[in-house]
Amino acid sequence: MQRQLGTNFAASLGYVASHGHNLPFPVDINQVPQNRLSANDQAFRPYPQFGSLNTSGTPPGENAISNYNSLQAVIQKRMTQGIELNFSYVWSHFLDDIDSAGWGSHSGAHYIQNSFVPSASCGNSNFDVRNAFKGNVIYQLPFGRNKMFLNNNFVLDEVLGGWQLASTIIVQSGQPFTAVMASGTNSYSLGGTNFEWFPNVIGNPKLQSRGPNHWFNEAAFAVPSPGTFGDERRNQLTGPAFSRVNLSLGKTFSITEAVHLQVRADSNNAFNHPSFALPNQNLTVCPSSGTLPSGCGGYGAIATGTSTITSLQGLGRTLQLSAHVTF
């Protein structure tokens, strides 16, 4: 739905959705049958002399799927009275069994417990950004020739007139991720390209007050019984949000009718706001005997205090001054 709000404003509201089916799914054809799972089940592989034998295909009788739904709102203003803007907001939910690519145009983390049952891996996609607000603004400062202020003074027009301020803004929800345990914790029966185990969920993983030093509640997870799959759903946790404001200030000077000089100052992440990356998602299983390390509340439990964040998304503030001559 699109509506014109006067001569220079336009707004639109739309629902966008897609559904994919019969998607290729990585299969470990040498996975231990589920009824044979145990702490030492290598002998029950179909080909016990080999480890995982991964192929790219679809298991017989079941296909991988994807499902995307979104509500998209856009408002635009054409350049009038020195202001132009374009803002959009998208609420969306993206579910799938496997991602064909990942966050930031790379493979991304994707964990599979049972490669013969794609639906067991159904969860939030690596691309599932629930809320995304993006926009850009151009503002021509109201000074100088043909402007509201100082429009009759040649010297002031040369100094203050003609400057243009521009900004791009991004504010969006964090990336989904999965808390996992080290491979071999419960069984050799693993699939996919990342050999990890899911834990059982026994509490609320979300902390009331979370931060870079402790992002989620590790005590909400427990080690599954030997030879069983964990019941955690893939990508049920969410990392830190991302925000970025870029600014640019520039002016074009006319040296002659055909020669122009443009000077600009550009700043990426102008307010030097830190956007944190994903926390450590690898759970540490406490030893079954001996001295318990820090963070271990009992033998065989999940250690707490390990979900720290040690890196950022993107760089800190950068500044650039430039001049361009066109003729």
pLDDT at 157: 67
pLDDT tens column, 35-46: 887 767 778 888
Question: By C-alpha distance, which of 174, 168, 169, 182 is closest to 103?
Answer: 174
Of the pLDDT bands very low, low, confident and very high (cuts 50, 70, 90), residue 183 is low
pLDDT at 190: 55
pLDDT at 105: 47
pLDDT at 168: 97
pLDDT tens column, 4-13: 666 788 999 9
pLDDT at 77: 92
Residue 306's Cα: distance from chain center in Å? 21
pLDDT at 61: 54
Of the pLDDT bands very low, low, confident and very high (cuts 50, 70, 90), residue 189 is low
Q: Is the pLDDT of residue 104 over 60?
A: no
Three-state SS sequence of 4-37? EECCCEEEEEEEEEEEEEEECEEEECCCCCHHHC
What average pLDDT does the segment 226-242 reach? 89
Q: Is the pLDDT of residue 224 over 80?
A: yes
| Percent of the chain scoring above 70 in pLDDT | 84
What average pLDDT does the segment 261-277 reach? 93
Question: By C-alpha distance, which of 303, 100, 276, 287 is closest to 199?
Answer: 303
How confident is the prediction for the chain on average, in pLDDT? 84
pLDDT at 150: 62
* Domain-wise residue ranges, the chain: 2-326
